[in-house]
Amino acid sequence: MKHVVLSAAAAVLWMGVAGASFAADSDAQLEKGKALFISDAAPACAVCHTLKDAGSAGTIGPDLDELKPDAARIKKVLQEGMAVMPSYADSLDETSMDAIVAYVVHATGGGK
Ligand code: HEC
């Protein structure tokens, strides 16, 4: 049983590394990412970042519509934080982080 759980976790990790999970954005994942961005993450991204799709106008961090960060860049800053932006490594699980990444890339056309 333990082995099954571990291999499932490894498969998810591998998919994340290969970027396969980003290719498979579902509407549900984007909805979740948007909700986290606007209010569910603590602190919510919207407090500090402007993102038109989310209706946010925060000015503490960079304007994400202009920055158009790609998936790897968003994932890195979520895990490590940057300046006054906190790391979300302890407050968000992998699924939630991937949902935010997919949503921000989708909303900004990042990485294109
Ligand atoms: C307390 C304010 C604050 C919150 C909350 C916050 N950020 Fe940031 N964020 C910043 C600041 C400030 C920077 C820029 C730091 C710098 O350039 O020195 C930044 C940078 C970024 C960057 C650019 C990273 C890079 O490589 O340049 C991305 C992408 C980003 N934030 C996304 C998010 C997302 C997604 C969330 C929500 C999960 C979030 N931020 C929450 C303040 C915040």
Give me ligand 1 centre to Cα 4, in Å.
36
Residue 24 in this model has a pLDDT that exceeds 90: no
User: In this structure, which topology does domain 26-108 adopt according to CATH?
Assistant: Cytochrome Bc1 Complex; Chain D, domain 2 (1.10.760)
- Map out the domains of the chain as residue ranges: 26-108
Q: Atom 1 of ligand 1 has which residue's CA nearest to it?
A: 85
pLDDT average, residue stretch 48-65: 98
Confidence band (pLDDT; 50, 70, 90) for 26?
A: confident
Give me ligand 1 centre to Cα 60, in Å.
8
Separation CA 17–CA 7 (nearest Å):
15
Q: What is the pLDDT of residues 72-92, one digit of tens each?
A: 999 999 999 999 999 999 999
Q: What is the CA 56 to chain-centroid distance, rounded?
A: 16
Confidence band (pLDDT; 50, 70, 90) for 13?
A: very low
